[in-house]
Amino acid sequence: MMPERAEEPFVQVIADHIESKNPIILGGFPGMGLVGNIVGQYLIEQLDMKPCGRVDSKLFPPIAILYGGLVKGPVRIYESVEKNLIVIFSDIPIDPIISREIGGGIVRWAKELQPREIISLAGLATTGEEHKVFGAATTQEGLDRIKGTLEIFEMGTITGVPGVIMNECMNHGIDGICILGETRGPSPDPRASIEVVKAMNRLYGFNVDIKLMEEQAEEIEKVLHKLSEQIGEAEARQSPKDLPMYG
């Protein structure tokens, strides 16, 4: 009789030796305005963070991510020992159906590192033009710490992996902070991301230079503006006789 094989866990965190002690752990996942992605990637580049692991799951879509011809995991872990910072960065959107498993698995792994704090990044869709940065916390101490630097997100919901991470932090007694950049929609919003980095510099003393980010924001805005014009021109050229008829 063949021995039964242990069932593969839904989520595996495969990490090398983490040198940081009681680190800040930050999650950068795709979401509204791609704030989590843009900020996470920028911190990794500007702080010269080193890859130290990945998150894997049989729930992930069947996809390989390539950089410079080399396969990388779709959800990767980076570390800056100097800043005592770990970033978990995702190249793929996480389906809401599996968000609970992914977020829960990350927090269970993070708890072993005795983190000072776990930060979730997210976008907050509004009609405002100011690009305010909002915050929420899992403890009163955390809330007191962000007051004066972030606008308090008084009432609402945090969805997806960031929301799960906040709930799991609360359940495990871990200080969790969610930083939400005000954005106008799902399109990449570099301006919202810039304000989030500024806020994190004030809160955590990262001292990340945002000059390159501002230059990139201008280029992205030009591309998006041009794309918007092209879509408008294409719609204007389409006459009613080109449209299909039903009924």
Contacts of 159 (CB under 8 A, 6+ apart): 31, 96
How far apart CA 8 and CA 82 sit, in angstroms, is: 35
Report pLDDT for 22: 96
DSSP H helices, the chain, are 35-46, 96-111, 140-146, 160-172, 190-204, 211-237
Report pLDDT for 242: 53
How far apart CA 88 and CA 99 sit, in angstroms, is: 14
- Model confidence over 195-240: pLDDT tens digits? 999 999 999 999 999 999 998 888 876 776 676 667 666 656 554 5
Positions of the chain with pLDDT under 50: 239, 243, 245-247
SS3 for 153-222 is CCCCCCCHHHHHHHHHHHHHCCCEEEEEEEECCCCCCHHHHHHHHHHHHHHHCCCCCCHHHHHHHHHHHH
Tell me the domains of the chain and their CATH numbers: 11-210 (3.40.50.10900)
pLDDT above 90 covers what percent of the chain? 72
What is the pTM assigned to this prediction? 0.87
Report pLDDT for 88: 98
Report pLDDT for 7: 67
- Bridge pairing between strands 70-72 and 176-183: unpaired
DSSP 50: E
Give, in order, the Cα–Cα distances in Å from 147 to each of 45, 112, 126, 166, 245.
Answer: 29, 28, 21, 18, 56
Token pair of 140 as six digits: 């009163």
Q: What count of other Cβ atoms lies within 10 Å of the Cβ of residue 159?
A: 13
